[in-house]
Amino acid sequence: MMHIMRNSKTNVRTSAKEASHERIVSAAARAIRRSGYAGTGVADIMKEAGLTHGAFYAHFASREAMLAEAAGRACAESASLAAEVAASVPPGQALASLLHTYLSREHLEQMEQGCPLVALGSETVRQAPEVRQVMTRHIKAMVDLVARQSPDWGQPGAHERALVTVATMVGSLLLARAVDEPALADSLCAAALKHLDPA
């Protein structure tokens, strides 16, 4: 009986710690897209997660470890959404659907939930290796997802086109977010769509 009660208490503690960890990572994944890596402080994240600053090291060995996990979460959320978009339409329409969703006004305005490559791409080069590895995996996965929508998937041309497509998508949205003129932002996205999806 005593043994069962100890296990029950341990399970409750473990579950509470996992829930706290989830809140921290979720808050950090939004924060890095909103404020960048440099603008994401441990104290602010812990406060947003409803925890004390002192509790941080019960979850992470360092700020960099938190940033790497937050980047991983942001990338996973982005990849999941892209996969859902591609799967929601017939195969021949998947690439067009991906392009229109990615370069939409809605994605442009949803910085905290949007593509981490747009929000963090230029900062990633100055981050710890574990953060860069996360972003590298995400870029490869994104290129692969786009390449798989090509009728000649598996051929070198499909991969090269996917590289250009992803670079154009990310670059166009990054510039659209950078400008302070909505009409110019819309034009940047529309021009990219015109060239990537002529149909």
Q: What dotted CATH number matches 2-196? A: 1.10.357.10
pTM: 0.84
What pLDDT, on a 0 to 100 scale, did the predictor assign at position 131? 92
Given a contact cutoff of 8 angstroms between Cβ atoms, the answer to whether 193 and 108 are in contact is no
What is the chain's pLDDT, residue by residue, as a tens digit (199 residues)?
A: 455 555 555 666 677 788 889 999 999 999 999 999 999 999 999 999 998 888 898 999 999 999 999 999 999 999 999 999 999 999 889 999 999 999 999 999 998 889 999 999 899 999 999 999 999 999 999 999 999 998 888 888 999 999 999 999 999 999 999 999 999 999 999 999 999 986 6
C-alpha to C-alpha distance for 163 and 91, rounded to whole angstroms: 20
Phi, psi for 60 (deg, rounded to 5): -135, 145
What pLDDT, on a 0 to 100 scale, did the predictor assign at position 14? 72
- How many other β-carbons are positioned within 10 Å of the β-carbon of residue 89? 13
What pLDDT, on a 0 to 100 scale, did the predictor assign at position 171? 97
What pLDDT, on a 0 to 100 scale, did the predictor assign at position 75? 93
Given a contact cutoff of 8 angstroms between Cβ atoms, the answer to whether 34 and 70 are in contact is no
What pLDDT, on a 0 to 100 scale, did the predictor assign at position 15? 79
Q: CA of 81: how far to CAs of 78, 142, 189, in Å?
A: 5, 11, 19
Given a contact cutoff of 8 angstroms between Cβ atoms, the answer to whether 80 and 67 are in contact is no
